[in-house]
Structure 1
Amino acid sequence: MDDLVCGFDDSVLDATHDSNGRVKRYSLYASKWKKKHLYYRIVNSPHDNEAEKYRVQNTVARAIKLWSDASPLTFYEAKDGQKADFVVKFIKGDHNDGYPFDGEGGIYAHAFFPQDGDVHFDNDEIWALKQENSPKKDLFIIAAHELGHSLGLGHSKVDGAVMRPKYRDIMKHKDMEKLSADDTAAIQAVYGPCPKVEYWLKDLLKRRTKPAISKRRPSTCSGPFDAMFMGADMRTYVMRGRYYWRLNEEKMIGRPQPLLIKHRWPGLPGNVNAAVTSYYTKRTYFFKGDRLWRYNNNILDSSFPIKTKGTGLPKNPDAALVWGPKNRIVIFRGKKFWVWNEFTRKVDPGFPKLIRKYWHGVPNHLDAALRWKNGITYFFKSGYYWKFEDDFEKTAKCYPRPVALYWSSCGGTSLERYGT
């Protein structure tokens, strides 16, 4: 089979042409989904156990995110009893759909075009369910490819496209964070460009939305958050009220229930304003009101907490992160930001400065900010998040996006989760 991902015949596809009559490098099927909100269900996992199915959910969600980030489509995992537009299954051999699998090797998966859209993976293959270097078949990149078919796309001839027909070609890009220009052009040719921010969201984002102080255990499906930061252990933590929880490797909020902050960081109160871990000292700083705590992992450094008076820092900051080639600590509050030197404990000269002049597209009055381990910067507010393109000093296209759809494994819609 020459290392083909799937066995579809591209002769059934439309070799679309541009306005000059030239054949485009991507191809489209004659059918597409007639709606922009799609529900899917993951039926099983390779060995059909709960822990493995959870990893499959996260991997498929990462693959779906590639397509939703580049289009007006939104995807929701169907709840029990809710009808799904397409399903994801792991099955072997002849499974009565006219396209039997051929055992290990050969064809790895196939998907059906709209209005069916089901995605099948050959369960005789050995699947890699997380980012790793191994001879196993990479579920993420193959799922991304098959989902393209499920949305109505054919194969592409362009190097770097996830819709290339051969596995060895798409495996070169198994760590991709966004679609190639060719894949993006294809999906937008079918469904149109990214949606504009609705007027009600623009109004919502003008307000300050930090959560009210509460003693109730928060839901990991809901926002906003008090703080997000990456610890010295390279794990990402989310805080809200008196509780915290961790994100897994796929940037998804894990299933364990939130835990009490005081049990992880003794002496630290709840309802912190912001948190950040130093690139240089690996110390984590927590900000609340006019006080500052510094921890070495989970041990409070001597002489802390301290007052921030005289440091130039604002009271009650909104967010903090490490950013830039010098990995400086940046503090956000309202419409402004400060660069803070942890060694002198002073704000750099010339600050504060306006967010809108240097962080184009980032809203004021943030809830949280985070520089992920891949170097990408994210900003959070009102249940939405923005990806910031450092090279261009502006937010990426097709943002903001709902936090609950892409940073948690919860079911339902974003509007249900955030009460908007």
Structure 2
Amino acid sequence: MKKLTPLLTLALCTLLTPARAQATPFADGIDAAITGMRAFAGYAFFFKGNQYLKYNWDTDAVEPGYPAPIAGNWKGFPEAYTNGIDAAVNGQGNSTGFGYFFKGSGYIKYNWDKDRVEPGYPRPIAGNWKGLPPSFTSGIDAAVNGKTPFNGSVYLFKGNQYVRYNWIQDRVDPGFPQPIAQYWKGLPASFGNGIDEVLNGEGAYRAYAYFFKGNQYARYLWSQDRMDGSDTLPIAGNWRGF
């Protein structure tokens, strides 16, 4: 019997080796994330560059067929926004039912019922988000709505600082900005210098907020106002399908 040539051996090994799931660029970090509302409740949408993922909280995994391009799937997104966004968060109070997407010094307002951007956007952050300091009106890094006992406020992050925005009063609360490291208890030191995005969990994970930085994340427990554990974890292997 003839010995197999090295090239033939390699070919056979390739055919017989089970295929491994390919990690997406999202495992290296995300740009922005938002929880779906209305017909999209139960899902989270993660953005990276010009692509996005649809994550199912019930199955705890990315839906089949993703990543997909932002362009053509998020109706009314201006071209600049289809190439990437900086942060996203859902409105509350009079703004319930809308998602706000930030890019540089501007933002757009997305109507979940109509599944498209509202007319008249993008608009500048400055002058429309009252009380934000100039460093925040030039761009937002991350945003998340507070949960019990912090309902009614959205936290906006920029560099190593954050502000608390009151949805009912439609302006930043007095005394802000404040340093992230001082007030978000247990957050790893590297996260105190800046984060990429924060997302509230849903379903079995609704008690938590997830802080992302690079290829790592940390979990925050709202009811205890502190991190759930002291260590960060890699996105890869913990967010299935990333």
Q: Give the distance between the partners of 2:225 and 2:144, measured in 1 at CA.
A: 15
Partner of 1:239: 47
1:244 offset after TM fit, Å? 1.0
Q: Which amino acid aligns with 2:196?
A: D
Which one-letter code corresponds to 1:253 in the other structure?
V
Structure 1 residue 221, shift from structure 2 partner:
5.2
Q: In 2, distance between residues paired with 1:237 and 1:284?
A: 11
Counterpart CA distance in 2 for 1:301 and 1:407 is: 31
**Residue 217 (structure 2) aligns with:** 385
CA distance in structure 1 between the partners assigned to 2:19 and 2:100 by the alignment: 45
* Match in the other structure for 2:226: 394
For 1:393 and 1:371, how far apart are their aligned partners in 2?
Answer: 14
Match in the other structure for 2:30: 225
> What do the CA deviations read for 1:174-232 (whole angstroms, capped 9, x no partner)?
xxxxxxxxxxxxxxxxxxxxxxxxxxxxxxxxxxxxxxxxxxxx925522111011021
Name the SS for the 1:222 alignment partner: helix
Matched to 1:238, the amino acid is F
Deviations 1:385-409 (A, max 9, x none): 1011223322122521111111024
* Contact 1:220–1:253, Cα closer than 8 Å, also in 2: no
Q: 2:100 aligns with which of 268, 285, 305?
A: 285
- Which has more radius of gyration? 1
Q: Percent identity?
A: 25
| Secondary structure of the structure 2 residue equivalent to 1:262 | coil
Mapping for residues 75-94 of structure 1, pairs under 5 Å: 80=18
Residue 328 (structure 1) shift: 1.6
Give the residue type in structure 2 aligned to 1:347: V
1:322 corresponds to which residue? 145
By how many angstroms is 1:243 displaced?
1.1
CA offset at residue 366 of structure 1?
Answer: 0.7
Alpha-carbon distance in structure 2 between the residues aligned to 1:80 and 1:383: 26
Q: Which moved more, 1:395-404 or 1:310-319?
A: 310-319
> How far is 1:255 from its partner?
3.6
Structural RMSD (CA) = 2.4
1 CA distance for matches of 2:169 and 2:104?
20
1:408 is aligned to 240
Answer whether contact 2:197 2:211 (CA < 8 A) is retained. yes
Query: CA 1:316–1:381 in structure 2 vs 1: closer, same or farther (change >3 Å)?
Result: same
The 8 Å contact of residues 252 and 406 in structure 1, kept in 2 or not, is answered as no
Tell me the SS of whatever aligns to 2:185: coil
Displacement of 1:330 in angstroms is 1.2
* Contact 1:220-1:408 at 8 Å conserved across structures: no
2:71 alignment partner, SS class: helix
- Report if aligned partners of 2:88, 2:142 keep a CA contact under 8 Å in 1: yes
Gaps of 5+ in 1: 1-78, 83-217, 411-420
1:369 aligns with 2:198: yes
Q: Which has the higher strand share?
A: 2
Distance 1:339 1:225 in 2: 23
TM-score scaled by length of structure 2: 0.73
- In the aligned structure 1, how far is the partner of 2:159 from the partner of 2:119? 31
Q: Determine the structure 2 residue equivalent to 1:309.
A: 126
Among 74, 81, 85, the residue aligned to 1:272:
85
Residues 83-103 of structure 1 show CA distances to partners (whole Å, capped at 9, x for unaligned) of: xxxxxxxxxxxxxxxxxxxxx
User: Does the aligned pair in 2 maintain the 1:291–1:308 contact within 8 Å?
Assistant: yes
Larger relative contact order (Cα-Cα within 8 Å, sequence gap ≥ 6): 2
Partners of 2:54 and 2:66 within 8 A in 1: no
